[in-house]
A and B are shown apart, each in its own frame.
Chain A
């Protein structure tokens, strides 16, 4: 019965005594406890499980060296599979399950199962013990002389504190170079042609019919050629932020004047990078003009400047301003006028990242 101050004020002390201690359930001896033959049978079963496990391990090794890794076969209910992997899986399962089942069976049938209750000790130590410990600590503190030689204490603390830095700094620094302008710019610029991905053909405005959709990359960054010219890393970076989706809408159903102005006769180009976490938003439904992201079902309305109408994305997709060059091909009129892709901390404050470049 606690007498601490923080116990609830009203406690019906008598209720605790109404329930008698139920004690242990009566011990029921198992068959193996009373029948010698049953106990021998159980022991045999345990041995069989452990032996199966050993056989599984050996079979695994044999399968590993004997079966052709490319061997295919058909198993009913699963279909065509690689028999090498199937054999390794089955034998390893035998090896592990045998140990597990043997141990559980052994514990359940043969090991003692009498239930025993061990009463709790009072949590506090005796007063003599407490005094002895306090005296020992105080003695150690004084004999170490740290109370007098504070320089040792300070330098040891400094050494231990700094010791953590070599562990922490490489992890933080290993996150990569600090991004600068590349988060705000793409490879799109005034006069750069829109190219069909992956064929690399330029696009005439007249070829973009209503209902069709073009997946577009900037001139010089399309397909294999981009990999050869710029290397795989640059080409992949380009793919991840320059990708654009191009459609033609009936200008009368476009709700935003800015969207109409940045397009050509209802042909509009939008960044394909989702503003949620950057998946390519490319599921265009030509009858509803909805653009759906396959990752988290963010849905953008292409007739309303790609505003979000469903899902976790927060911002509309950025629009790429386009125009037509002298030969009738679609070209970019500018880079995107806002950063493409998901949000980042410095998105609205480029100065924090760009420094003097901003």
Chain B
């Protein structure tokens, strides 16, 4: 303690402090200043590469229906100008696109996703480069931390439950179309579906459902997914009265008829 106090008053002390200060400033400048431009350049370069790679993938896999410049083909595929990266990621990463055959609607098929996550990003980058559109969601709205499950449930029942069922198990629409189940769907895919409104589904933009409200809805869905069948009994698909009626009209009435026949028969 005393030696330190003595050293502080030494004439060399000033020199040492000056030297330290200069070294620190120079190192910090060298460390921080030049790095920024190089990463920007690198990012721009990779983005340009992504767009180019994405264009090649697009021409090979998507252009038949969506046109060589994604301008759309009448009666076959819609224009992709302005659909954004979120839409591309949703459609391709859930296996809906490329569509195996024309049908009333594309169905989720995650076993048959044809592309790596990297390739999907490249295609998304290409489509996003054509015209501005919704971007992929920020990770902070997908971690479900601090999400309000009750508020999510209220928003879900007002905006989603009429088509997707209050238990998230999906339901029928008109002329063969249907709202798919939301159970077991990736958080990001649910978010992107709300943001882009795929197929018959309407768009829920950030003014209608804020990103926080979207996160709440996803948290609510994950909550009921993990909660399982809290009330007990066989769920029979959780699709409402249709499953119950099928059970009663086949197994229930069948058992009743068998019993009635048994009661009416004479014992031999």
Kindly list chain B residues whose C-beta atoms are within 8 Å of the C-beta of A285: 173-174, 177, 200
Across the interface, do A109 and B228 meet the contact criterion of CB distance under 8 Å?
Answer: no
**Interface residue from B179, B202, B231 paired with A82 (Cβ < 8 Å):** B231
User: Quick check: is A286 within 8 A (CB to CB) of the other chain?
Assistant: yes
User: Quick check: is B266 within 8 A (CB to CB) of the other chain?
Assistant: yes
Kindly list chain A residues whose C-beta atoms are within 8 Å of the C-beta of B179: 283
User: Quick check: is A30 within 8 A (CB to CB) of the other chain?
Assistant: yes
**Identity of the chain B residue whose Cβ is nearest the Cβ of A85 in the assembled complex:** B232
Query: Beyond A212-B204, A294-B171: 15 further Cβ-contacts under 8 Å?
Result: A31-B268, A79-B229, A81-B229, A81-B232, A82-B231, A198-B154, A212-B205, A215-B158, A215-B159, A282-B163, A283-B163, A283-B173, A285-B174, A285-B177, A297-B174
Kindly list chain B residues whose C-beta atoms are within 8 Å of the C-beta of A209: 203, 205
CB distance from B171 to the nearest CB of A (A): 7
Most buried by A among B151, B159, B213: B159
Across the interface, do B202 and A213 meet the contact criterion of CB distance under 8 Å?
Answer: yes
Binding site for B on A (CB under 8 A): 28, 30-32, 72, 78-82, 85-86, 104, 108-109, 113, 196-199, 201, 203-204, 207, 209, 211-215, 223, 247, 280, 282-288, 290, 292, 294, 297, 299, 310
Kindly list chain A residues whose C-beta atoms are within 8 Å of the C-beta of B171: 294
CA gap between A81 and B210 in the complex, in Å = 37
Kindly list chain A residues whose C-beta atoms are within 8 Å of the C-beta of B159: 213, 215
Of the A-B pairs whose beta carbons lie under 8 Å apart in the complex, a sample of 22, sorted by A's number, is: A82-B231, A85-B233, A108-B267, A113-B266, A199-B155, A207-B205, A211-B202, A212-B197, A212-B202, A212-B204, A212-B208, A213-B204, A214-B208, A215-B158, A247-B202, A283-B179, A284-B202, A285-B174, A285-B200, A287-B200, A288-B174, A292-B174
CB distance from A331 to the nearest CB of B (A): 17
CB distance from A46 to the nearest CB of B (A): 12
Q: How many A-B residue pairs have CB under 8 A?
A: 101
Across the interface, do B232 and A109 meet the contact criterion of CB distance under 8 Å?
Answer: no
Kindly list chain A residues whose C-beta atoms are within 8 Å of the C-beta of B163: 282-283
User: Quick check: is B207 within 8 A (CB to CB) of the other chain?
Assistant: yes
CB distance from B39 to the nearest CB of A (A): 35
Across the interface, do A299 and B174 meet the contact criterion of CB distance under 8 Å?
Answer: yes
User: Quick check: is B234 within 8 A (CB to CB) of the other chain?
Assistant: yes
10 interchain residue pairs of minimum CB distance? A207-B207, A82-B232, A213-B202, A81-B232, A285-B200, A212-B203, A282-B162, A108-B267, A286-B202, A211-B203
**Interface residue from A32, A81, A207, A211 paired with B233 (Cβ < 8 Å):** A81
Kindly list chain B residues whose C-beta atoms are within 8 Å of the C-beta of A292: 173-174
Across the interface, do B268 and A28 meet the contact criterion of CB distance under 8 Å?
Answer: yes
Across the interface, do B200 and A78 meet the contact criterion of CB distance under 8 Å?
Answer: no
**Identity of the chain A residue whose Cβ is nearest the Cβ of B157 in the assembled complex:** A198
Across the interface, do A108 and B266 meet the contact criterion of CB distance under 8 Å?
Answer: yes
User: Quick check: is B60 within 8 A (CB to CB) of the other chain?
Assistant: no
Kindly list chain B residues whose C-beta atoms are within 8 Å of the C-beta of A81: 229, 232-234
Across the interface, do B154 and A223 meet the contact criterion of CB distance under 8 Å?
Answer: yes
Kindly list chain B residues whose C-beta atoms are within 8 Å of the C-beta of A198: 151, 154-155, 158
User: Quick check: is B235 within 8 A (CB to CB) of the other chain?
Assistant: yes
Kindly list chain A residues whose C-beta atoms are within 8 Å of the C-beta of B213: 199
Across the interface, do A211 and B267 meet the contact criterion of CB distance under 8 Å?
Answer: no
Kindly list chain A residues whose C-beta atoms are within 8 Å of the C-beta of B265: 108
**Identity of the chain A residue whose Cβ is nearest the Cβ of B165 in the assembled complex:** A294
Across the interface, do A207 and B208 meet the contact criterion of CB distance under 8 Å?
Answer: yes
- Which residues between 3 and 51 of chain B lie within 8 Å of chain A, taking CB atoms? none
- Which residues between 170 and 221 of chain B lie within 8 Å of chain A, taking CB atoms? 171, 173-174, 177, 179, 197, 199-205, 207-210, 213
Kindly list chain A residues whose C-beta atoms are within 8 Å of the C-beta of B235: 79
CB distance from A236 to the nearest CB of B (A): 14
**Identity of the chain B residue whose Cβ is nearest the Cβ of A287 in the assembled complex:** B200
Most buried by B among A86, A211, A283: A283
User: Quick check: is B242 within 8 A (CB to CB) of the other chain?
Assistant: no
CB distance from B131 to the nearest CB of A (A): 15
**Identity of the chain B residue whose Cβ is nearest the Cβ of A103 in the assembled complex:** B263
Kindly list chain A residues whose C-beta atoms are within 8 Å of the C-beta of B263: 104, 108
Across the interface, do A197 and B158 meet the contact criterion of CB distance under 8 Å?
Answer: yes
Kindly list chain B residues whose C-beta atoms are within 8 Å of the C-beta of A299: 174
**Identity of the chain B residue whose Cβ is nearest the Cβ of A209 in the assembled complex:** B205
CA gap between A286 and B197 in the complex, in Å = 8
CB distance from A199 to the nearest CB of B (A): 7
Across the interface, do A79 and B154 meet the contact criterion of CB distance under 8 Å?
Answer: no
Kindly list chain B residues whose C-beta atoms are within 8 Å of the C-beta of A32: 267
CB distance from A224 to the nearest CB of B (A): 9
Kindly list chain A residues whose C-beta atoms are within 8 Å of the C-beta of B262: 104
